[in-house]
Amino acid sequence: MTMGTAPEFEWPDEPAGGEDSQFRQGSEELDAYSQTVIRVAATVTPHVAAIEMTSRGRHGRSRVGSGSAVVFTADGYMLTNAHVVSGIQAGRAVFADGKQTDVELVGADPLSDLAVVRGLRATPPPASLGNAEGLHVGQLVIAVGNPLGLAGSVTAGVVSGLGRSIPVRAGEHRRVIEDVIQTDAALNPGNSGGALADSRGRIVGINTAVAGLGLGLAVPINRTTQRIIAALLKDGRVRRAYLGLVSTPIPLDASAVVRTGQREGLRVVEVLPGSPAAAAGLEPGDLVLRAMGRPVSSAESLQKLLFTEAIGEPFPLTVLREGKTLQLVAVPSEMVTPG
């Protein structure tokens, strides 16, 4: 090749119709997976805001927490994570189209990592909420966030695990966020509080944390979290009943399975002094089989029964102790967590 002579290269022929036609042709050739992700992103992104919660300090307002939030009512209420708002009462939300509104905290629940904020000016219409109870491992999900500086962040993956739990602590109380969705849809910084959507664009979870390289977690939208959200809207907090025991699930031995008809129960590891569980006579080593007449085999299945209506009311427990079945009755008190 002579010095100064451009290398020979043949550009592909331009399809008939010019450049616009080329882009249309490329769009038509997109695989079904890409078409689904693009469609869901276009559907969900307008409903997701970047939020920045601020607190006034000595030198004016300073940034305290930031993340994403999802509009879920027509009058501008948004779901996000409790750790995003971090107890701060006000901030602002910015949407992908550049519109913004001041927001105020309605309520937060650290024990589920869910919070509700309200836009003080007009917001986009609500996203469509789905039900995570219908998810399957391997199902396509799309994570949509709007972190500051990364407006309209979209990642896709599959549900890689269901029924996961995240241990959390609020003051002296230990609890788990139940039935967490595990996904390999990567979460960018600031995606906490954003939407996890199914292939139909329905919000099935609120992204909550990065579990590790290539893993993400989301709080599910299901019957339990719907109750939590309703309580936050009504009272700004979630009232929970408190038993005062620490337990772990264990499989029953063959003889106990035959006697009880259950394969698993909850082994009591610790009974906190002065708690309703202690007053009812529960002891470490007891195996809790039923609560309120329902089988319990995990901390989550017990927690689902410990909401407002259980406070101050008889709470029957079926317990297996040294081969004998006992019927105990606790009276749960109200769990008090730091504000």
Residue 206 and residue 116 in contact, taking contact as beta carbons nearer than 8 Å: no
- Assess whether 75 carries a catalytic annotation: no
> Whole-angstrom distance between the N-terminal and C-terminal Cα of the chain?
76
- Assess whether 198 carries a catalytic annotation: no
Of 61, 64, 44, the residue nearest 53 (C-alpha): 64
Give residue 126's Cα distance to chain centre. 18
Q: Which residue out of 109, 113, 179, 198 is catalytically annotated? A: 113
- Assess whether 165 carries a catalytic annotation: no
Q: Which residue out of 66, 68, 160, 192 is catalytically annotated? A: 192
Alpha-carbon gap, residue 11 to 327, rounded angstroms: 82
Please say whether the dihedral angle defined by the alpha carbons of residues 128, 131, 136 and 138, taken in this order, is positive or negative.
Answer: positive
The single-letter DSSP state of residue 307 is B
Q: Which residue out of 47, 66, 68, 83 is catalytically annotated? A: 83
Q: Which helix (H) or strand (E) holds 48?
A: strand 48-57
Q: In the chain, how long is the greatest CA-to-CA distance? A: 96
Residue in this structure with the two tokens 């264990």, named with its chain if needed = 250
Structural tokens at position 106: 């309605």
Residue 179 and residue 163 in contact, taking contact as beta carbons nearer than 8 Å: yes
Of 293, 268, 292, the residue nearest 281 (C-alpha): 268
Give the residue numbers marked as catalytic: 83, 113, 192
